[in-house]
Amino acid sequence: MRFKDKLIVATVTLIIRLLKQTVRWQYIGSPIRPENATCIISSWHARLLLIPLLLGKWQGPLIISDHKDGELISAVFAKFGIQASRGSSSKNGAKALLDVIRLAKQGLSPGITPDGPRGPAQIVKPGVAQISAKANIPVVPVCYASRRYWRLSSWDKFYIPKPFSKGVVVVGEPLSQVESESIDDFTKRIQQGMDNAQQQADTFFQHGIV
């Protein structure tokens, strides 16, 4: 890895630790956590930054796209003990899918950004439903928000909480495929669960909750 890339990894790692320590986080929703139940952590691509430190003892694997940016993200998350499975819907996706299913069957909790790596933003692709059905573990929608934040100009409008703000982590109810339900219908339910978690997070501080 080039010196420039190492500097980026070190900087992003420091930012994540800073935001974990300086934002006053509170949790609402399901008590499900990767350390007490095998599940699939599903987070929008825009809210990926702090997932490594907001979910307790989560170790991954996290599906990371198989391109240059994915290499940097993998290196950052490795700093927090989270392993990556490289691939996406556009490149090496089948291999990543099989790897994650295998690891899930071993008791690990995969993480996925169901709208990544290139969007459209906040639209669930069927991969997360396929992993859940094949590995027989539920999908848990997760979304965080803060009272004060930045949004970048990237395709996903990447979300960065501001230091010394107040934050909320919404953990949705676990979603599993029901009998005779198609992958398409299951994907639609996951979409609704993701939308609900995001709406809860994004409106939390609008309701005067402190």
Condensed to tens digits (0 to 9), the pLDDT of residues 55-68 reads 878 887 888 776 66
Exposure string of 81-95, with b = 16+ CB inside 10 Å and e = fewer, is ebebbbbbbeeebee
> Taking the CB of residue 68, how many other CB atoms lie within 10 A of it?
9
Condensed to tens digits (0 to 9), the pLDDT of residues 96-141 reads 678 778 888 888 888 999 997 888 999 999 989 998 998 899 999 9
Global confidence as pTM: 0.90
User: What's the token pair of residue 23?
Assistant: 């934002």
DSSP letters for 65-128? -SSHHHHHHHHHHHTTT--EEE--SSSSHHHHHHHHHHHHHTT---EE-TTTTT--TT---THH
Whether residue 154 contacts residue 198, with contact meaning beta carbons closer than 8 Å, is answered with: no
Average pLDDT, the chain: 88
User: How are the residues of the chain apportioned to helix, strand and coil, as percentages rounded to the nearest 5?
Assistant: 40, 20, 40
